[in-house]
Amino acid sequence: MRKCLSFVGTGELKPARYIYNEFQCDTSVIQEALAKFYNPDLTILFVTDKAKSNNLSTVITSLSEHPYTTIDIPDGRTESELWMIFDKIIHAVSPDDEILLDITHAYRFLPFLAFLTALYIREVTGATLAGILYGAFEAGEDIYDQTGQTRRITPVSDLTSFIILTDWIMAVRSFISFADARGIQAMVSESRIPGFISSPHQGTESGSALIHLADSLHQFTAGIQLSRPIEARESGIEVLKHLVTIRNQIHSDFSALNPVLDKITEISPFKQDMSTSPSWSTLEAQLAIISYQVEKGLYLQAAELAREWMVTAVICYHGLFSSWLNENIRTDVEGALHALTIKKKGKQYKSSPIVRRLEKNPEWKKIADIWHKIARIRNDLAHCGMREGREDAKTLEKKVIAIPEELTIFYQILRRT
């Protein structure tokens, strides 16, 4: 059902010519104009005691040909009364409703409350917010109609596009707080850009750059969430490239997104060397990714990548940079690190050239300790605690948070020798 939620004002209802697109309506009652412009199935009039005595009868008369109902609301003088108004608006809406919100006569704080309530309705009840409407009586000019009566030209503005800002707030929060850029990508792909009237899909240079940036951001966060550091770095390179391009147009076309770009450049992985060739700087960049995962609460991903990172670190320690993805070499390094933990316990272990090189390191026991610690954390997470001797969630979280510090020590030991 299409419902128009409207507030009855307390001030004088003056003759106006309401205009929306090619439609116009001569009336002193905004609700009558909206009923003709939008043809709602029901107009719901929220009315205070003062509005009831001043204007309600006039509004009802003007809606004689349109379905309506009234709901009494308090003046909103206290916080308790504000919540009562909120509750009454919420209960006027059903999940399948299409809502038009008229804030023309929403006095003082009511436009703010109504706007927040509309957001709540959309997100929680599942209703569709079809329009946020305002009759700008003060913005028009006086004219004389065919009868000689003075009327004010009053454009009806649809403020719904400003709700895009709230959607962007949520999308950016998901990106900043949880390393999830799907919301940003969706907003851009649906051409929902704050302050940008035409579609970015119309072939403009800035629009194309923004689309590529959003796609790259999504691929970057997908790499972070799925612990794919190679793909994350490749996408990161694309992000930085598109950032350079779009910076030239952002001030004119997408000025509201400036702070978003600033947030992107503050992300720790983007502060590292983004080259993809295997090197010690590659390790540093991957360590930044692990720290970023921990920061965003991606604990399982961080533990999984930390274990693989240690294997890569030992491969680099042996100068085998070009073979860091070779399955046999990675298996040999895993075996060597496991052998060190066995040796530290005073038990027999299987030696190898990699083991012998690690044994010469004066801090080999620390290497074994960190490997054993990270491997236990990773295994506990991977098996979902379905083992005897599992850590409780609180203890495990503390250990995961300490992973970047442990890996930094591991890295420093290998680089010193």
Domains observed in the chain: 2-158 (3.40.50.10640), 164-271 (no CATH), 280-416 (1.20.120)
What would the pLDDT profile of 54-75 be if each residue is shown by its tens digit?
Answer: 999 999 999 989 999 999 999 8
Distance in angstroms (rounded) separating the CA atoms of residues 264 and 137? 42
Structure tokens at 406: 């442990």
Length of the chain equals 417
What single letter denotes the amino acid at residue 314? V
Encode the chain in three state secondary structure: CEEEEEECCCCCCCCEEEEECCEEEEECCHHHHHHHHHCCCEEEEEECHHHHHHHHHHHHHHCCCCCEEEEECCCCCCHHHHHHHHHHHHCCCCCCCEEEEECCCCCCCHHHHHHHHHHHHHHHHCCEEEEEEEECHHHCCEEECCCCCEEEEEEEEECHHHHHHHHHHHHHHHHHHHCCCHHHHHHHHCCCCCCCCCCCCCCCHHHHHHHHHHHHHHHHHHHHHCCCHHHHHHHHHHHHHHHHHHHHHHHHHCHHHHHHHHHHHCCHHHHCCCCCCCCHHHHHHHHHHHHHHHHCCCHHHHHHHHHHHHHHHHHHHCCCHHHCCCHHHHHHHHHHHHHHHHHHCCCCCCCCHHHHHHHCCCCHHHHHHHHHHHHHHHHHHHCCCCCCCCCCHHHHHHHHHCHHHHHHHHHHHHHHC
Q: What is the pLDDT of residue 272?
A: 66
Structure tokens at 297: 């609460």
Q: Show the low-confidence residues of the chain (pLDDT under 70).
A: 194-206, 247-257, 271-278
Distance in angstroms (rounded) separating the CA atoms of residues 133 and 37? 11
Of 43, 77, 75, residue with least CA distance to 59: 43
Distance in angstroms (rounded) separating the CA atoms of residues 169 and 175? 10
Strand partners, 128: 98
Phi, psi dihedral angles at 183 (to 5 degrees): -65, -45
Distance in angstroms (rounded) separating the CA atoms of residues 99 and 102? 10
Q: What is the pLDDT of residue 205?
A: 64
Of 8, 125, 126, residue with least CA distance to 72: 8
Of 54, 95, 90, 58, residue with least CA distance to 71: 90
CA distance to 137, 310, 336, per residue, from 372 (Å): 73, 11, 12
Q: What dihedral do alpha carbons 278, 280, 286, 291 form, nearest 10°?
A: 180
Yes or no: say if 316 and 283 are a contact pair by the CB < 8 Å rule: yes
CA distance to 96, 128, 175, 200, 334, per residue, from 122 (Å): 10, 6, 22, 26, 52
What single letter denotes the amino acid at residue 378? R
Of 68, 73, 9, 72, residue with least CA distance to 44: 68
Distance in angstroms (rounded) separating the CA atoms of residues 30 and 37? 10
End-to-end CA distance of the chain: 73
